[in-house]
Structure formats: structure tokens, C-alpha cells
Amino acid sequence: MKNPEEVKAVKPKELPSGRLQHLTYLNFDEYRNLTKQEKGKVMPKQLANITHRLEPDGKEYNYASVTKGAKVLVYNKEAKGACNILGKDHDKYLRNPCLTREKFVVIELSEETLVDVVKIANFEHYSSNFKDFELSGSLTYPTRTWTQLGNFVAANVKHIQDFKLPEPKWVRYLKLNLLSHYGSEFYCTLSVVEVYGVDAIEQMLEDFFVPSEEPLPNELPEPNSTAAPPSKPELSLADKEDSGKVHNGSDNAGMETENIHGIQQSNPSVKKNPESINMIANPVTGVRQLLISRKPGDTVLKILMQKVKSLELSLTMLEEYIKEMNQRKGDILPKLDQELFRISLLVEKSRTEIRDLMEWKENTDKVLMEFESWKAGVSSSMDAMVRENTRLRLDVEKVANDQANLESKELAVLARSLVFVCFSIAMLVSAKVSKFLRAASCLGKACRTRRGWIMILVSSTMIIFVTLLSS
């Protein structure tokens, strides 16, 4: 893990507006995640050179064996005998017509595995060998997305072939797609599929015991409890020889085990204390022996010691990180105070402007209220005028109707008066004529009748005169 002192702080920059650009420091979690991401860009040596899990008899552990619990889940409908590829009987095989376009099989491994090598073989002589094939993996099934493990090309041979993955992947379900084949036989067969790698427990033990090549800051000294007893100095010489053999030898676990057995034969005192050999042996040798035997022994104690050591290193690194961050942040506190003071002045100025705007808003509201009241008064006056106009119009119409009635009545009076005038004139004329024709005895009665018609004539004439004057 990187030293926290390597975390660089960028100096604050002055923005065009006069403000300071705030610094953004990584917190401890972000710093730790960033370190993990940088380490993840390069494949660890443990993943690039995986030690496969071994069975008690020394053979590599096949995670695709039916005896270990592996099974075939799905295959194309044209395939026959798909489960035979997981068994040990090489006379049985998976058979597919070569003309089938999609030939695949999905295998459930015995457990979640960091797959490193896949071995495939076809032992059937009267069939076509597979050529191009594709491997995909997934941790769950069914799944919509398969992780690509690689595309491979097999040789046209009748023996088992090893195919190493470009990058080991954690998978539980393996999908094998057969893309092409050799020859022109009717059937394409597949006899064996084997999967090798390491499971989660094996990988955890390797992570605990295989030392990392990267130096750790402030590394604590190893506890003295794992050193050899001082009463047996000859053991230290054997340790030096064994150490040289381990560092200069290959990574094969069996060879390192033979080295330890040689030490036991050359030094009888070592045979009496086999625990000391386990304590001083190379951690790589110890973990590989542990991977083979799977005996707990002092595994729990070693794991706890490693965890305590890791926690101490993490605590030390955290303390240094905190000190460094406090020191770096303390350098910019005065500038932050100036920035806060400037911001407070801007805030106060903004408050003053807001207060002025509020007063202007209140005055505007008052003017608007007065205008609304004046508008309401004018509207009420207009309504009153409209009502008065309507009333006057009704009165005028009534007067006009009355005048029309009076005119019609005047005409009727004039007509009647004219009739009476004419009739009275006619009666007076007739009376005047009868005066000459009748006897003297009727003079008195005629005189009375003539006076009545004269009165009618005079009154009718006066009525006509008054009516004409009034109109």
C-alpha cells in the first residue's frame, strides 16, 4: 500500500471572480479504494501463477468431475450423452451431428472456482474432432450475461489438450460453445471436459501466507515466537540450506516437500521437532503443504497473527494519513478564513439588496391597492350612470307613447267637433228654411231649437280652436 505522504495536495487557484477554488482531498476510504484499483490494473502474481488444488493422492483437483458433484445443466436438443463428458469412462462421449449450427453445453462446477486451466479431449476415432470453441462463465444460473473466458483453437489430435485462460475468473457455471470442427464425419464427439483452478478457501490461505513482493511502510518486526529455539544451533544451518533450496528451486509443492524430508534425514534433531520445520519453512512451501493436506493444526493461530499484523499496519498508516491531512489542511486555513469573510460580506450585501427590494415591493403593492380602489369607484359610477340612462330612456319612451295617445285623442276630438259644427250649421240652415215655410205657431219652438244648435256650433268651434292652438 502506498505511503500517505505520496498524496499530493493541489494548491488553491484564484478564480476570475476572485473566489478560491476549494481543495478536495481524498478521504481514507477513497484513498484505499484508489490504491486497490491501481493494484487491480496489474494481475497479481498469485492469479498469474495459480497453484491448483490437489487431492490427497497428489493429483490435481478436477472441479468438473461428476464424483465431486459437478453436473450438466443444459445442452442443445440435438446432443446425446452430454453427461458423459464429466465421467471417467472414455468409451462414452457427447455426440452431436456436425451439421448442427449451435452446439453447446452448460456445466455446473462442484463449487465456486477461480478457473485457470480447462482440459478437453476427444478419444473417438470415427468422428470429427472439435476445432474452434468458446468458453464463458457465470456465478449464477440462469443468467442473461455470460463472462467471456476466451476463444481457443484445438489441435486435430486424439489425446487430452490443455487450454490456459488468459485471465483466471471466478465462475460456478461454465458454458462451452463448439464453433467448428475438423474433417467431414457425420458426428462430432467430445469425451472429456476437466476444469482446474483454486476455490475460495485455497485462495484465502494463499492470500494470508504467500508474501507480497511490494514493501509495506513501517513494517513491524516478525514475532520471536516463530524463531527456532537457541538450544539447537544446528537447526539454523539446516534452515539456511532449506531456505536456499526453496528460493532457488521451482514452484512445485512436491519438490519442496522432498527438501524438507531431506532435512529431516540429515539432522535427527529436526525429526524430533517437526513443528519447528513448519515454523521456519518458506511461507510458500507451508501454504502449499497446507493446500494438499487441509489439516487445520496451527492455521487459526497463523491467520490471527497475520490479521493482527495487518491491522497494526493499517492503523499506523491511518495515523500517518491523518497527520499528513491535518498538516496540509492547516496550511490553507487562513485562505479559507479570508474566503469565508469575503463570502460573509457578499451575503450581507445581498441581504441589503433583498431588503430594498422588499420595501420597493411593499410600496408598489400600496400603489396597486390605491389604483384598484380608484378603479372600483369608477366602475361603480359607470354602473350608476348606466342604470340612470336606462331609467331616463324608459321615461322618454313612456312620454312618447303618451304624446302619441294624446295626438290620436286630439284628432278624434277635432273630428267629432267638425261633425258637430257641420251638423249644427245644417240644422240652423234647415231651421231658417222652415221659418219661411211653417206657420207662425211654430215660431216659438223653432226659436228654442235654433238657440240650442247655435250653442253646439259655438262650443264645437271653440273646441276646434283650442285643440289647434295646443297642438
Query: What was the pLDDT predicted at 344?
Result: 93
Name the residue among 191, 192, 161, 182 with its Cα closest to residue 98. Answer: 182
Poorest-pLDDT segment among 147-151, 315-319, 435-439, 454-458: 435-439
In angstroms, rounded to a whole number, what is the distance separating the alpha carbons of residues 236 and 282? 14
In the predicted model, what is the mean pLDDT of the chain? 73
Q: Which residue has the cell 495515523?
A: 319
Q: Residue 118 pairs with which residues in a beta bridge?
A: 163, 195
Poorest-pLDDT segment among 133-147, 299-313, 349-363, 364-378: 299-313
Structure confidence by residue, pLDDT tens digits, 311-363: 888 888 888 888 877 777 777 777 888 889 999 999 999 999 999 999 999 99
What amino acid occupies position 217? Answer: P
Structural fold of domain 66-209: Jelly Rolls (2.60.120)
Cell numbers of 339, please?
474566503
Angle between helix 200-209 and 283-293 (nearest 10): 160
Q: To which H or E segment does residue 433 belong?
A: helix 333-437
Torsions phi, psi of 102, nearest 5? -110, 110
Q: Which of 204-213, 225-234, 267-276 has the highest mean pLDDT?
A: 204-213
- Burial of 155 per CB tally in 10 Å (0-12, 13-18, 19+): exposed
Pairing assessment for the beta strands 132-138 and 71-75 based on DSSP bridges:
unpaired
First to last CA, the chain: 127
Residue ranges of domains in the chain: 66-209
pTM of the model: 0.42
Poorest-pLDDT segment among 5-14, 217-226, 306-315: 217-226
Distances in whole angstroms, Cα of residue 469 to Cα of each of 280, 388, 414, 463, 465: 156, 35, 12, 10, 6
Query: What was the pLDDT predicted at 471?
Result: 67
Spatial contact of 467 and 409, defined as CB atoms under 8 Å apart: no
Cell numbers of 288, please?
502449499
User: Which pLDDT band holds residue 249 (cuts at 50, 70, 90)?
Assistant: very low
Cell numbers of 57, please?
493422492
Query: What was the pLDDT predicted at 119?
Result: 93
- Looking at per-residue confidence, does 464 or 272 come out higher? 464
What amino acid occupies position 57? Answer: D
